[in-house]
């Protein structure tokens, strides 16, 4: 297995460098999702550090998704807007990250279910004991995930305060480098912001968002979309970094986010 370490100032810079390193240095290996004739994927274990997650520019234009969906996904992870879609008995989703993080269920002593808000514990622990190493949340459920078709990729989130910074490490067992990672990182650093603000409010100690680390056991580019991926490579070769990124506060980006919020509100009113 190839091992890659990337350290960069901003989210789009870190993501782009990690994807390129995976393409150039990743091992060739087959996956469980390959179709006959698909090339072998590129795969590595990666450690990505974003030194300033909220420094602009914050968005890479080449992430394969719309700005509207980026905002919807952020709210899905941070606010749980799609937790009500979880209903595996009816063939619907088996989990959301928000549900696993904020409403993790375990069996109690009487055979019933106990719901644990892991982020409430994290925030209280950090507010009471800033130097703690126990401020973490998990997602994996050994009684469910080994047998489902799409088990959780996110495994664990760990927080610690250093000086006036809240730092966060995210551990993923598997991550689609090109098609999923940027959106994952975008949402996860907003969780980091949320925790920093809540700990600041409860402790009376002003915290800022510090470095973000994204650690992945299998960081991969699937052979099935190599043709599509050529567009990403061409963009890196022919366009400047400024041309490849957006400032998240720009009118274009905020307009797309407003559109997404309106869509979310319409769905809420319609009971979807």
Helix (H, G, I), strand (E, B) or coil at 82: coil
The DSSP 8-state label assigned to residue 84 in this structure reads G
Q: Are 222 and 31 in contact (CB under 8 A)?
A: yes
Assign domain 2-236+248-269 one CATH number from 3.20.20.150, 3.30.572.10, 3.40.50.1820, 3.30.70.1140: 3.30.572.10
Positions in the chain short of pLDDT 70:
none
Helix (H) or strand (E) holding 118: helix 118-128
How far is it, in rounded angstroms, from Cα 44 to Cα 175?
10
Tokens, residue 197: 């603000």
Residue among 119, 121, 132, 127 at smallest CA distance from 160: 132
pLDDT of residue 112: 84
How many Cβ atoms are within 10 Å of 141's Cβ, its own excluded?
Answer: 17
The DSSP 8-state label assigned to residue 38 in this structure reads P
How far is it, in rounded angstroms, from Cα 17 to Cα 62?
13
pLDDT of residue 250: 98
Model's pTM, two decimal places?
0.96
Residue among 45, 65, 57 at smallest CA distance from 182: 65
How far is it, in rounded angstroms, from Cα 72 to Cα 263?
9
HSE-up (13 A, CA, CB side) for residue 270: 7
The domain segmentation of the chain, as residue ranges, is 2-236+248-269
pLDDT of residue 90: 87
172: region left, alpha or beta (phi > 0 left; psi from -120 to 50 alpha): beta
């Amino acid at each position: 297995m190839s091992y890659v370490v990337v350290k960069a100032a901003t989210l789009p810079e870190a993501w782009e460098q990690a994807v390129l390193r995976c393409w150039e240095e990743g091992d060739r290996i087959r996956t469980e999702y390959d179709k006959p004739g698909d090339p072998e994927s590129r795969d590595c274990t990666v450690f990505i550090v974003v030194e300033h997650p909220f420094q602009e520019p914050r968005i890479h234009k080449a992430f394969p998704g719309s700005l509207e969906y980026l905002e919807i996904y952020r709210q899905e992870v941070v606010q749980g807007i799609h937790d009500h879609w979880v209903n595996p008995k009816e063939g619907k989703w088996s989990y959301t990250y928000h549900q696993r993080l904020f409403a993790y269920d375990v069996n109690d002593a009487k055979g019933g279910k106990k719901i644990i808000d892991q982020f409430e514990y994290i925030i209280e622990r950090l507010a009471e004991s800033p130097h703690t190493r126990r401020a973490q949340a998990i997602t994996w459920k050994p009684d469910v995930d080994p047998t489902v078709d799409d088990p959780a990729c996110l495994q664990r989130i760990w927080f610690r305060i250093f000086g006036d910074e809240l730092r966060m490490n995210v551990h993923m067992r598997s991550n689609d480098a090109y098609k999923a990672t940027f959106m994952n990182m975008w949402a996860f650093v907003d969780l980091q912001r949320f925790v920093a603000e809540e700990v600041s409010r409860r402790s009376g100690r002003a915290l800022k968002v510090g470095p973000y680390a994204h650690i992945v056991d299998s960081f991969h580019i699937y052979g099935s979309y190599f043709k599509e991926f050529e567009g990403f490579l061409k963009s890196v070769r022919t366009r400047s970094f400024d041309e490849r990124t957006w400032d998240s506060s720009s009118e274009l980006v905020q307009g797309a986010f407003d559109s997404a919020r309106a869509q979310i509100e319409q769905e809420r009113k319609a009971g979807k």
